[in-house]
């Protein structure tokens, strides 16, 4: 299979990536079921072609953007990023994608916009998890505009040089490496620029446990477990837990975004 052409990036970590198998069989994608092995089992039914993203709200050029058209107008890069799940496990993943800022600039952000809201596909016929209760579908997420425009924030369309597997959020997903994994919304169909902080799925389910920011922070514990350490997936049965790094190791790049903010309150 032809590899997707992608430039290397200075933002990539030199840590060793997890295997393709690990990355594609251990997924939290509740649209396909609760178990981490469910997405790999059930995502095959998802139709990702044709695909378009509705961009609206406070933008100059709202409308439906076809996926091919989005990808034609960007330069794809390989970004090897650390991923830290809120459940205290971690991986290293070689994404292929482009800065979200490129797409937002193409749509033209209006001066009044302060936040970006994202929405996942709602298609219960193909996403068995959406036929069950527990979560108010579709999955929604959001970022502050400066977070969304940050060069580390990408939309990924590939993995390990191939098209993004469906269980990993095909055909287009967000990746925000300094935040817990649930912020990186999958299979995006809608992006809306807003003035007010948008609703996000996990925050509305459990506001005490999941905040809007969800920055990786070893000093602010989840109410039910410590975030001070993490288990590296693939490290073996008897591997030690590793200390979790502030902003998942991206502190140099992103600390400035949160100057003056109390991260214990804005978790």
What is the contact surface with other proteins in residues (CB under 8 A)?
21-22, 25-26, 30, 34, 36-37, 87, 89, 132, 134-135, 205-206, 221, 223-226, 228-229, 231, 233-234, 237-241
Nearer to other proteins, 15 or 235 (CB): 235
Nearer to other proteins, 22 or 146 (CB): 22
Min separation Cβ 157 and other proteins, Å = 23
Min separation Cβ 227 and other proteins, Å = 11
Nearer to other proteins, 75 or 206 (CB): 206
The C-alpha atoms of residue 89 and residue 86 are separated, in whole angstroms, by 7
Min separation Cβ 137 and other proteins, Å = 12
Nearer to other proteins, 153 or 168 (CB): 168
Min separation Cβ 23 and other proteins, Å = 9
Burial class for 225, CB neighbours closer than 10 Å (0-12, 13-18, 19+):
exposed
Nearer to other proteins, 59 or 92 (CB): 92
Nearer to other proteins, 31 or 147 (CB): 31
Cβ atoms 247, 215 nearer than 8 A:
yes
Min separation Cβ 90 and other proteins, Å = 11
Print the SS3 string covering the chain.
Answer: CCCCCCEECCCCCCCCCCCHHHHHHCCCCHHHCCCCCHHHHHHHHCCCCCCEEEEEECECCCEEEEHHHHHHCCCCEEEEEEEECCCCEEEEEEEEEEEHHHHHHHHCECCCCCEEEEEECCCCCCCHHHHCCCCCCCCEEEEEHHHHHCCCCEEEEEECCEECCHHHCCCCEEECCCECHHHCCCCEEEEEEECCCCCCHHHHHCCCCCCCCCECCCCCCECCECCCEEEECCCCCCCCCEECCHHHHCHHHHHHHHCCCCCCCCC
Min separation Cβ 253 and other proteins, Å = 28
Nearer to other proteins, 18 or 248 (CB): 18
Min separation Cβ 57 and other proteins, Å = 29
Cβ atoms 254, 152 nearer than 8 A:
yes
């Amino acid at each position: 299979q032809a590899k997707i052409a992608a430039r290397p990036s200075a933002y990539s970590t030199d840590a060793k990536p997890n295997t393709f198998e690990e990355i594609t069989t251990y997924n939290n994608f509740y649209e396909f079921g609760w178990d981490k092995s469910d997405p790999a089992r059930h995502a095959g039914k998802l139709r990702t072609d044709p695909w378009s993203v509705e961009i609206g709200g406070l933008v100059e050029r709202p409308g439906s953007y076809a996926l091919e058209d989005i990808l034609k107008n960007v330069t794809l890069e390989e970004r090897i990023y650390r991923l830290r799940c809120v459940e205290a496990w971690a991986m290293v993943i070689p994404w292929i994608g482009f800065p979200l800022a490129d797409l937002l600039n193409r749509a033209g952000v209006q001066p009044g916009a302060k936040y970006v809201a994202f929405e996942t596909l709602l298609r219960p016929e193909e996403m068995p998890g959406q036929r069950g209760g527990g979560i108010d579908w579709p999955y929604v997420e959001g970022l502050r505009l400066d977070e969304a425009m940050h060069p580390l924030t990408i939309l990924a369309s590939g993995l390990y040089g191939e098209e993004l597997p469906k269980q990993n959020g095909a055909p287009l997903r967000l990746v925000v490496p300094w935040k817990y994994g649930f912020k990186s919304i999958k299979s995006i169909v809608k992006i809306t620029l807003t003035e007010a902080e948008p609703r996000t799925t996990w925050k509305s389910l459990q506001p005490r446990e999941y905040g809007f920011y969800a920055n990786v922070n070893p000093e602010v514990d989840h109410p039910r477990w410590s975030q001070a350490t993490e288990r590296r997936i693939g490290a073996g049965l008897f591997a030690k837990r590793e200390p979790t790094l502030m902003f998942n190791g991206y502190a140099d790049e992103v600390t400035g975004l949160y100057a003056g903010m109390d991260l214990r309150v804005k978790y």
